[in-house]
């Protein structure tokens, strides 16, 4: 297995153990691949959920641009809900896991073909 496969397995484990979800491995793989090289960078691979500007960036760049959602307060509500599910005290909130949960939350799996 390559490094990306190891990361996908780690993300799946987080979804199962920390979020109580059974991951759709095909979708998780596609979301992870779409994150690009950021998954290999310690800082870029995680989301600093306590930093408002970081959450705004996720909202603008992922929810609005990637998923094609209309900007509104429900986007930040969904993001906060996903972070709550992951666990506010969880230090490493992986970007791919957050993006996966947001994709599922909004039913936007088709974005990943």
Q: What is the DSSP string of 33-81?
A: HHTGGGGGSTTTTB--TT-HHHHHHIIIIIIIIIS-PPPSHHHHHHHHH
pLDDT confidence tier of residue 58, bands split at 50, 70 and 90: very high
Give residue 90's pLDDT: 85
Evaluate whether residue 113 is within a structural domain: no
Domain count, the chain: 1
Give residue 112's pLDDT: 96
pLDDT confidence tier of residue 60, bands split at 50, 70 and 90: very high
Residues in the chain: 113
Evaluate whether residue 8 is within a structural domain: yes
Burial class of residue 27 in the structure, from the number of CB atoms within 10 Å of its CB (0-12 exposed, 13-18 middle, 19+ buried)? middle
Evaluate whether residue 68 is within a structural domain: yes
* pTM assigned to the model: 0.96
Evaluate whether residue 35 is within a structural domain: yes
Give residue 92's pLDDT: 87
Tell me the CATH number at 32: 1.10.238.120
Mention every residue, 6+ apart, whose C-beta is less than 8 A from residue 49.
Answer: 55, 83, 86, 88, 93
Average pLDDT score, the chain: 95
Q: Tokens 């929810």 correspond to what residue?
A: 63
Evaluate whether residue 41 is within a structural domain: yes
Q: State the residue range of the domain holding 14.
A: 3-108
């Amino acid at each position: 297995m390559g490094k990306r496969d190891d990361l996908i397995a780690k993300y799946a484990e987080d979804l199962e153990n920390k979020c109580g979800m059974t991951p759709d491995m095909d979708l998780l793989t596609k979301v992870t691949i779409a994150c690009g090289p950021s998954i290999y960078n310690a800082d870029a691979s995680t989301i600093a959920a306590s930093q408002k500007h970081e959450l705004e960036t996720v909202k603008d760049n992922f929810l609005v641009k990637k998923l094609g959602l209309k900007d509104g307060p429900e986007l930040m509500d969904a993001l906060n809900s996903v972070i709550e599910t992951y666990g506010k005290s969880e230090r490493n909130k992986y970007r791919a896991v957050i993006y996966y949960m947001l994709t599922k939350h909004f039913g936007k799996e088709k974005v990943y073909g």
